[in-house]
Amino acid sequence: MNDVYIASLPVVLAAVSGILILVLDILVKKSEKLIFTLSLIFSLLPFLPFLIFYGFRSKAFGGQLITDKLSYTFVALISIITFFIILISYSYNKRRLIKYNEYYVLLFFAQAGLIALVSSYNLLVIFIAFEIFSFSSYILTGIVKDRLSSEAVFKYLFTGIIASSIGLLGIALLYGASGTLFIDKMVKTGTNSVVIISGFILFLINIFFKFSLAPFHIWTPDVYEGAATPISAYFSVAPKIAIIILILRFISLDVFTVFNVKIILWLIAAITILWGNFVALRQKNLKRLMAYSAISHSGYIAMGFLLPYESAYKYLLFYGISYLFLNIIAFTFLSYLTESSSDDVGMESVAGLSKKKPFESFVFSLALISLAGFPPTIGFFAKFYLFIALIESGYIYITLIAILGTVVSVFYYFRIIMYLYFKDEDKDFKFDIFGKIVLFLNMVIVLALSFYPELIFSFLRGW
């Protein structure tokens, strides 16, 4: 009985937060500040179940909704992400004249969808959760009213719907062949027919699409470029962490081995790493560049899908968590470069910025250096652990491909730093207190994690 409440608490918290804000928006006039403050508080609410119930397994609705260590870890992370995104959204929305308080509502609905996504073994629940997230994100992409954003939302919507239908077809095939919607039961029946495997691959394609793995990544740069920058930041971290956790659930059941798809994962990871990194080289727009950087990091993470559960659990989450903070830093910085008229942040727009904004440039460079995997930053340890685990499991060649990708990535990350520091121009931008807080907090976290990477492992153990 109690189980029902505990298991559904995280999802309900997020959904109710969204509904409350929606109601408030209707009742109160000129409510921008109030709603912003409330959203900030609400965004931290899901942290409570993490603190109280971590390590406590519960089931609800006949096992369709479960909570365990994995889902609570995600709940904690998503509340951190939403908190930071809302902090940087306020001034960004003012600058870009985004006056819709639905913005915050949709963030919470997306959050509810993602939490549901990581709390189930049921393929249909996973599908619906994906759709809740996707529909919120379609609207969020289009919430800025300009040409780029409209273009982005159409591309995202059409390709997204196609991917979802392919995924749904996969689920149908799986259900037809195995007679169950629960992936854990499906694995136990041990059937391994062509229908099951092809169904599973179709189901995976939907995930690959959302995770922006090549060749299903084409929407990513356009959407990142067109969407409001805080939203791009959200897209680059929240769904990724959710999918990492979802995949960890699959790995814990050994699904990839049972259904024989490891070779596909291998290929997709390799293609993504190469594609993301090499195409990023040619980007002039910083948001597009970060999109390709995000794609290549998806590739690195996808290598981790090949690992056995023990190491995948530790090192994939390590990678995801470190990547989360670094990406929030990078996008926070970019979101402040945006002016009211356009969202075009070319490489030139940061030229020589370090003279007027030494602190912000330092934090941004720290994030870029770390994303490039330079020691002794957290990004290095993330890659290092992943490489160790991969080599221990015998995946040598993909590790070498990843190394090649890392070398290439140095080019474009360091080119941004080069513009920041080595150019003689004197650009300046306004960073308000929220942006500084976000940068400072994330810097402290990144530096602390760089010197004590084991903090992440102790976080995963529930402190």
Partner 1 sequence: MLFYVLGLPFLFAILILLIPESKKKIVLPVSGVLSTIHFIISLSLYFGYDLSSAGFQFIINKKWISPGINFHIGADGVSILLILLTSFLFPLSFFASVKSVNKREKSFAFFMFLLEGGVIGVFVSLNVLLFYLFWEIMLIPMYFIIGIWGGKNRIYASFKFVLYTMVGSLLMLIAIIWYFKAAGGTSFELTEWLSKGPLSYAAQNWLFLAFAIAFMIKIPLFPFHTWLPDAHTEAPTAGSVILAGVLLKMGIYGFIRFGLPLFPDAFMHYRYLLMILSVIGIIYGGLMALVQKDIKRLVAYSSVSHMGIIMLGFLALNPEGFIGSIYQMLNHGLSTGALFLLVGMVYERTHTRQISDYGGLAKLMPVYAAIFMLIMFSSAGLPGLNGFIGEFLILWGTFEANKLLAVFAATGIIIGAAYLLWLYRRVFNGPVKEGLNKKVFDLNLREILYMVPIIILVIWMGVYPSTFTKLIKIPKTVGKHFIANGGFEK
**Could you give the 3-state DSSP secondary structure of residue 408?**
helix
CB of 337 to partner 1, least distance (A): 21
215 vs 375 by CB, closer to partner 1: 375
* Distance, CA of 138 to CA of 17 (rounded, Å): 20
Give me the amino acid identity at 92: Y
CB of 212 to partner 1, least distance (A): 25
Binding partner 1 (rule: CB under 8 A), the pick from 309, 374, 429, 459 is: 374
Residue 59 engages partner 1 in binding (rule: CB under 8 A): no
The residue behind tokens 């993504």 is: 272
* Distance, CA of 152 to CA of 109 (rounded, Å): 21
Contacts for 397 with CB less than 8 Å, ≥ 6 apart: none
97 vs 310 by CB, closer to partner 1: 310
Going by C-alpha positions, the residue among 108, 160, 85 that lies closest to residue 130 is 160
**Mask: binding to partner 1, 403-442, rule CB under 8 A, as x and -?**
x--xx--xx--x---x--xx--------------------
One DSSP character per residue, 157-185 reads HHHHHHHHHHHHHHHHHHHHHHS-SBHHH
Cα 270 from chain centre: 20
Span interacting with partner 1, options 37-45, 123-131, 179-187, 375-383, rule CB under 8 A = 375-383
**Could you give the 3-state DSSP secondary structure of residue 139?**
helix
175 vs 414 by CB, closer to partner 1: 414
CB of 407 to partner 1, least distance (A): 6
164 vs 370 by CB, closer to partner 1: 370
26 vs 400 by CB, closer to partner 1: 400
Distance of CA 42 to CAs 94, 210, 406, Å?
21, 26, 38
- Burial group, residue 52, by CB count within 10 angstroms (0-12, 13-18, 19+): exposed
* Distance, CA of 156 to CA of 39 (rounded, Å): 26
**Contact yes or no for 13/46 (Cβ under 8 A):** yes
CB of 351 to partner 1, least distance (A): 12
Q: DSSP character for 425?
A: -
59 vs 314 by CB, closer to partner 1: 314
CB of 382 to partner 1, least distance (A): 13
Span interacting with partner 1, options 3-11, 129-137, 222-230, 386-394, rule CB under 8 A = 386-394
CB of 392 to partner 1, least distance (A): 6
Strand partners, 66: 59
**Could you give phi then psi for residue 160, rounded to 5 degrees?**
-65, -40
Binding partner 1 (rule: CB under 8 A), the pick from 54, 278, 384, 429 is: 384
Binding partner 1 (rule: CB under 8 A), the pick from 176, 179, 215, 376 is: 376
Binding partner 1 (rule: CB under 8 A), the pick from 50, 84, 323, 387 is: 387
Span interacting with partner 1, options 73-81, 119-127, 168-176, 392-400, rule CB under 8 A = 392-400
162 vs 400 by CB, closer to partner 1: 400
One DSSP character per residue, 234-287 reads HHHHHHHHHHHHHHHHHHHTTHHHHTT-HHHHHHHHHHHHHHHHHHHTT--BHH
Q: DSSP character for 122?
A: B
307-366: contacts with partner 1 (CB under 8 A): 355, 358
83 vs 315 by CB, closer to partner 1: 315
Binding partner 1 (rule: CB under 8 A), the pick from 399, 401, 443, 446 is: 399
Span interacting with partner 1, options 205-213, 227-235, 329-337, 446-454, rule CB under 8 A = 446-454
Binding partner 1 (rule: CB under 8 A), the pick from 400, 428, 448, 458 is: 400
Cα 74 from chain centre: 11
**Contact yes or no for 38/107 (Cβ under 8 A):** no
> How many positions of this chain bind partner 1 (CB under 8 A)?
27
Residue 278 engages partner 1 in binding (rule: CB under 8 A): no
Contacts for 23 with CB less than 8 Å, ≥ 6 apart: none
Span interacting with partner 1, options 23-31, 90-98, 174-182, 372-380, rule CB under 8 A = 372-380
* The two three-digit tokens of residue 431, written as one number: 């960073």
One DSSP character per residue, 50-94 reads HHHHTT--EEETTTTEEE-HHHHHHHHHHHHHHHHHHHHHHHHHH
190 vs 394 by CB, closer to partner 1: 394
Residues in contact with partner 1 by CB under 8 A are: 355, 358, 369, 374-376, 380-381, 384, 387-388, 391-392, 399-400, 403, 406-407, 410-411, 414, 418, 421-422, 452-454
